Amino acid sequence: MSQVPSAVLSCHNLGKSFGRDRRRDTVLADINLSLQQGDFVTILGQSGGGKSTLLKLMGGFLAPSSGSVSFHGQPLKGITPKIGMVFQEHSLYPWMTVEQNIGFGFKVRGELPQSYRNRVQNMIEQVELDDARKRYPHQLSGGMKQRVAIARSLVVKPDVLLLDEPFSALDVQLRRQLQAFLLAIWRETSTPMLLVTHNVEEAILLGQRLIVVGDRPGQIIAEVSTAAAEFRGRYHPKFLKLQRHLESVLEYNSATADLEYHPEETASAWQN
């Protein structure tokens, strides 16, 4: 997992601590990962384990305590519109309609409406919010709000999209609909995506590559390729086996956790 020159976004020995001296709390340590063009990487970890901090570091929202973040091979110096971000809690502007929220990125940069009107229109159609274009956020469901937030980030064509547990506040049914929606958007746009979640099923289902971040200090304890077609069906035996394995990895904070937990069962499963 060393720094790859052609990576769109990468980090090298990244670490983050809060506080000073005795009260120093190391949240992340020695994180190395890279995101290539067309990648969909999911980061799995327990709540409070530093996943969101990792995402904020990768997006330039926080400065690292050690190590570095590179964007297109250059050191990342702060927030850039080229790295889009979708937050856990929607951050839509309540006084703007769906259409205005989606076009906000252009407006706040001072671009003229005629220069971006068509792009906003196309994005509204792409996220299937045509009927809701004149509605305000309080008139939308939780799923619609997140679709608007994703559309707003994508319409300005970022080079990378970071997603911080975007579906965690939604019920199971809606979450599944939006997972399918996000996959479809990713296939259509090929925008590299980095999504953090504490939901094992979501991490396997969405990512082409899955990285498990352990607890305090957060370090990468496992990396799994989930690009195979079997991992797109949540009832496939391979999917379920990996899900169980990752659940025990998270529980015991160790990559070999399930061998300790279900030795006779998992040893044979992973030999196949």
Partner 1 sequence: MSAVGFAMFNPKFDQSWKRSVLSVTCGLISCIVLILLWEWMGSSPENPVTQVLPPPSRFLPVLFESDFKIGLGSQSASIYQSIFVTLLRVLTGMTLAFVGSVLCGMLISLSKWSELFILPILGLIAPIAPIAWVPLALVVFGISNLTAVFIVFMGVFFTLTIATVAEIKRIPDNLLITAKNLGGQEFNVWRMVILPSVLPGVFTLLRLNFIAAWMAVLAAEMTGLRDGLGAVVMTGRNLFNSNLILLGICVIGITGFAVDRLLLLIQKKFFWWQV
Any idea which residue has 């390729």 for tokens? 225
Taking contact as CB under 8 A, which single stretch among the options 13-21, 44-52, 73-81, 179-187 is the one that binds partner 1?
73-81
Taking contact as CB under 8 A, which single stretch among the options 89-97, 176-184, 194-202, 239-247 is the one that binds partner 1?
89-97
Taking contact as CB under 8 A, which single stretch among the options 7-15, 77-85, 122-130, 214-222 is the one that binds partner 1?
77-85
Determine the residue type at 264: E
Q: Is 161 in the site for partner 1 (CB under 8 A)?
A: no
Burial level of 205, CB count in 10 A (0-12/13-18/19+)? buried
Q: Tell the smallest beta-carbon distance from residue 100 to partner 1 (Å).
A: 10
How many Å apart are CA 159 and CA 249, to the nearest integer?
A: 32
Q: Is 19 in the site for partner 1 (CB under 8 A)?
A: no
According to CB under 8 A, which one of 37, 93, 125, 187 is a site residue for partner 1?
93
At 152, list the tokens: 């707003």
Taking contact as CB under 8 A, which single stretch among the options 82-90, 125-133, 188-196, 229-237 is the one that binds partner 1?
82-90
Taking contact as CB under 8 A, which single stretch among the options 8-16, 106-114, 203-211, 231-239 is the one that binds partner 1?
106-114
At 133, list the tokens: 């274009």
Are the beta carbons of 102 and 151 closer than 8 angstroms? yes
Q: Tell the smallest beta-carbon distance from residue 26 to partner 1 (Å).
A: 23
According to CB under 8 A, which one of 3, 87, 176, 199 is a site residue for partner 1?
87
Q: Is 261 in the site for partner 1 (CB under 8 A)?
A: no
According to CB under 8 A, which one of 23, 94, 172, 271 is a site residue for partner 1?
94
Cis bond before residue 217 (omega within 30° of 0): yes
Of residues 164 through 183, those in contact with partner 1 by CB under 8 A are: none
DSSP state string for 196-257: EES-HHHHHHH-SEEEEE-SSSB-EEEEEE--SGGGGSTTSHHHHHHHHHHHHHHHHTSTTH
Taking contact as CB under 8 A, which single stretch among the options 93-101, 167-175, 197-205, 212-220 is the one that binds partner 1?
93-101
According to CB under 8 A, which one of 45, 49, 50, 59 is a site residue for partner 1?
59
Are the beta carbons of 143 and 193 closer than 8 angstroms? no
Q: Is 119 in the site for partner 1 (CB under 8 A)?
A: no
| CB closer to partner 1 out of 11 and 149 | 149
According to CB under 8 A, which one of 5, 19, 75, 110 is a site residue for partner 1?
110
Q: Is 81 in the site for partner 1 (CB under 8 A)?
A: yes
Interface residues toward partner 1, by CB under 8 A = 59, 61, 79-81, 83-85, 87, 89, 91, 93-95, 104-105, 107-110, 136, 138, 152-153, 156
